[in-house]
Amino acid sequence: MNSVLVTGASRGIGRYVATHFAEQGHDVAITAIDEVELRKTAEELADLSESGRTERFLADSSEASEVRRVIEAVNDAFDGIDILVNNAGRVGPVGEFPTNDLRDWKRTVRTNLFGMVHYTYYILPSMKNQGYGRIVNILGGGARSSRPTLSGYGTSKAATLRFTTSVGEELEGTNVRMNGVGPGVVATDLIDEIRYGERLSDEYAERLTEKVEEGETTDP
């Protein structure tokens, strides 16, 4: 069995991914910034797995020192990390760029991009040393197309795509792999935050709502 670390695992895609690994009997460590939901998810995982262990860590992925602490703790608990799922993310300010709170905009970039950067940076040495590792980055819709009134989100997600392809190519010839996944429109709390944003452009809100109402979303 493998040891797995899933970031942003207190809800949505992250929770589903962690649940899947726990059901398979893997050791699973989860992180998030919502302590209540994180604890709830950890309890659910522990109930699901008969053989695998569960660890939880309250951590902000945008803070390098917190990420380093998590990596060290999980490596100690599981004697290494085989799989990392970089899922932590946020939407950020909604509205035309000049109306955005710049601090909130930067926070979105720090969480979506630098959260992924931090976890990857601190986990790669141990994966290379053990001769095996798989890193899966959840990229999001903004990775390949524009997101008007969600410029912070779109910018950060586009950057995660380039980060994934660049580092992925660096890892060629090793037994460590990095890949990205674009999950499409998934019915999570994050989608609701986007749909009901007060300053979401009418055109984008209409497109997103149509996808939801016509069943073009997937469940986590």
CATH number of 3-184: 3.40.50.720
Is the confidence at residue 19, as pLDDT, over 60?
Answer: yes
> Where in the chain are the domains?
3-184
Q: Is 186 exposed, middle or buried (0-12, 13-18, 19+ CB in 10 A)?
A: middle
Q: What is the helix (H) or strand (E) element at residue 31, kind and residue range?
A: strand 27-32
Instruction: Specify the pLDDT at position 218.
Output: 40
pLDDT tens string 87-104: 999 988 999 999 999 999
Pick from 21-25, 82-86, 140-144, 207-211: least confident: 207-211
Catalytic residue among 119, 121, 122, 153: 153
Q: Is 121 a catalytic residue?
A: no
Query: What's the predicted TM-score (pTM) here?
Result: 0.85
Contacts of residue 170, Cβ cutoff 8 Å, sequence gap at least 6: none
* Sign of the dihedral through C-alpha 163, 168, 170, 176: positive
